[in-house]
Amino acid sequence: MRYLPGLASRASLLALPLVAALWTHATPAQACGGFACDGPNGMNVDQSGENIIFAFNDGKVEVHIQVAYDPNTEASKFAWVIPIQSLPEFHVGSQILFDNVLNGTVPFYGFNTQTEICGDEDFGGDDGGAPNDGGLTGGDSGGSTTGGGGGPEVVFQGQVGAFDITVLKGGTAAEVMDWLADNGYNQPPEAESILQQYLDEGHLFAALKLAPSDDPIVHPIVLVYDGVEPCVPIRLTRIAAVQDMDIRVFFLGDHRAIPTNYRHVLVNPLKINWPGFADNYKEVITAAVDAYLAEGNAFVTEYAGTTSGISQANLYSPSWDAKAFQGLPVAEIYNTLSAQNLMFCDEYSYQCFYNHPLLEGVLRSYITVPDGVGDYEFWTCMSCFEDLIDPLPWGDGAAFSTDLVDRIIEPGQRALNLLQTKPYVTRMYTTISPHEMMADPMFAENPNLPEIPSQRMAQRYLRCDGHAEWTLPDGRVVFVPDNGPWPEFPGEMPWEEEVDQMAMAGAPQVLVTNTVAIDKILADWNSANTPKYDVAGADTADTAGTDDAAGCGCSTQDPSGALAALTILGIAGLGRRRRS
């Protein structure tokens, strides 16, 4: 890993799945379709990138990795390798935690609308956007073994939830490649030189793959390791990464998190398509982080503030009791699950619902619904079909009880504890391409930076002459002729307003600021496009509205003063806008 001066002793960890035998991609999440309703204005968001949650824990770093693989591929070929600097603890993670954190921090771009009173009619209103309303180590970490020929040492081997995990130490890159190949991790040849870099820096490698199963139950994975500075080693990722791959990182702690060796970018809000609810959001972010002195190694902060807006619902319930299933007769399984609010069958829709994303998969590992029998019919009258149920997988319920603890109860307790003990959350986002994955981003906390809200609300004012004026959250006023599409501003309108180098205390160092240039282009646009009126109130500008506008009986001025005055005031106030 590439370290900043003086940081060589700090622990670091890769949090990006690096698929070895089969490059996989997550299925895009549908808005509110059982995954996180994420992205500006709750639009469908491509979740093919990575979502990673870090937590700062008194000399330890805890990282939750959202694992995704293509269910249409052969699960046995899903495998990935993580460079790590010290032997961590491994735990099963909570998918619900990711859902709740994504939903609770999602950036939202919307607007309210006001309409100028024309004659005796009042068309005022608001038709704009509205805000979207435990652990286990999983195996034997002692009794190290070594590969043949003095290769890498196996310092941990075991199963954690759905994953078989092996941690390798030492050896050469060629020997590590041989071990991976012999054990079903077919790394591409290009990986060898990158593996050697990590070995030279003292890293270990955690190799993960799905344990043999007819129906694998994929879940997040948690690693806890000694250190104070989270790191995302992405150098191996570039072998299989796509152009402009999405990376989202979340930090739960006491203060706002910052990138320490990557830049930080403030996006130019004039490049956002406000009428389209920021439907060009990824395009803007990609261009901004590729700007001068950001150079593709930069993040934007989408939210920084309290964790109070993150729901704790469904993470964990005191009613979940694994012991109740030990020795439980098969016919009582549904009744017990229902009593613990883990499962519910609706007598009106004849459908059954699982109140945890892993429950159905775990349950079907022990109980198979007989052919030709519907789920509702089966679960609500298990005694009716007891003769058709294979009793061997369920046994005395002890194995199911253990899985319930390992995959649902303890991950839920850990996730709930994080949200209850960490008062602050930071959400950062970037897009990055393979040729830019040469340095591993590292992060720290800065107690001196302001919060960044997730909601960005503009104000649209519809004039009687058919034109519109938009006031953005930073106070800038934009004239939009004929209430049409968002302007394509002339000249070299920057994608980024500011590029900063963040510090662990105090204000950031400003490397690039484009505020003056942005304001000049905006002022020129407004001056060239704002209609001019003669004494009789007729529109004389080339961009004037239709004849209807001249006859609507409205004032020839903006209700709060001439637009030019508003623009000047907006520019004058820029120096007082809070920087973040």
pLDDT in tens, 313-361: 999 999 999 999 999 999 999 999 999 999 999 999 999 999 999 999 9
pLDDT score, position 64: 96
- Could you tell me if residue 548 is inside a domain? yes
For residues 466 and 568, membership in a common domain is answered with yes
For residues 234 and 50, is the Cβ–Cβ distance under 8 A? no
pLDDT score, position 495: 97
Q: DSSP state, 566?
A: H
- Could you tell me if residue 554 is inside a domain? yes
Sequence-distant (≥ 6) Cβ neighbours of residue 122 within 8 angstroms: 115
pLDDT score, position 552: 35
- Could you tell me if residue 551 is inside a domain? yes
What span, in angstroms and rounded, lies between the C-alpha atoms of 84 and 56? Answer: 17
pLDDT score, position 339: 97
pLDDT score, position 60: 87
Q: Give 10-residue mean pLDDT values along the chain (580 residues).
A: 28 35 29 33 42 89 83 68 91 95 94 87 46 40 48 94 94 94 86 93 92 81 88 86 91 97 98 96 97 97 97 96 96 96 96 95 94 95 94 95 96 96 97 94 96 96 96 98 94 95 97 97 95 55 39 35 33 35
Sequence-distant (≥ 6) Cβ neighbours of residue 496 within 8 angstroms: 265, 266, 267, 268, 287, 288, 291, 294, 512, 514
What span, in angstroms and rounded, lies between the C-alpha atoms of 167 and 227? Answer: 18
For residues 464 and 566, membership in a common domain is answered with yes
Encode pLDDT of 292-311 as tens digits.
999 999 999 999 999 999 99
Q: DSSP state, 555?
A: -
Q: Which of 357, 390, 418 delimits the end of a domain?
A: 418
* Unique residue bearing structure tokens 């395009």: 283
- Could you tell me if residue 314 is inside a domain? no
Number of CB atoms found within 10 A of residue 157's CB: 18
Could you give the number of structural domains in the chain? 2
pLDDT score, position 362: 94
What span, in angstroms and rounded, lies between the C-alpha atoms of 96 and 219? Answer: 10
Nearest to residue 330, comparing CAs of 371, 285, 367? 367
pTM here is 0.80
Q: How far is CA 442 from the centre of its chain?
A: 17
Q: DSSP state, 361?
A: H
pLDDT score, position 50: 66
> How many CA atoms lie less than 13 Å away from 545 in the CB half-sphere?
24
Q: Locate 309 and state its tokens.
A: 């807006």
Q: What angle do CA 393, 398, 399 make, to 5 degrees?
A: 55
For residues 329 and 413, membership in a common domain is answered with yes
For residues 386 and 495, membership in a common domain is answered with no
Classify residue 223 as left (phi > 0), alpha (psi -120 to 50) or beta.
Answer: beta
For residues 539 and 486, membership in a common domain is answered with yes
- Could you tell me if residue 498 is inside a domain? yes
What span, in angstroms and rounded, lies between the C-alpha atoms of 367 and 389? Answer: 7
- Could you tell me if residue 525 is inside a domain? yes
- Could you tell me if residue 366 is inside a domain? yes
Range of the domain at 337: 322-418
Q: Which of 398, 418, 438 delimits the end of a domain?
A: 418
pLDDT score, position 149: 53
pLDDT score, position 539: 54
The amino acid at residue 114 is: Q
Q: Locate 316 and state its tokens.
A: 């964990």
Outline where 333-453 has alpha helix (H).
333-339, 359-364, 375-379, 391-394, 398-404, 410-421
Q: Which of 418, 435, 464 delimits the end of a domain?
A: 418
- Could you tell me if residue 520 is inside a domain? yes
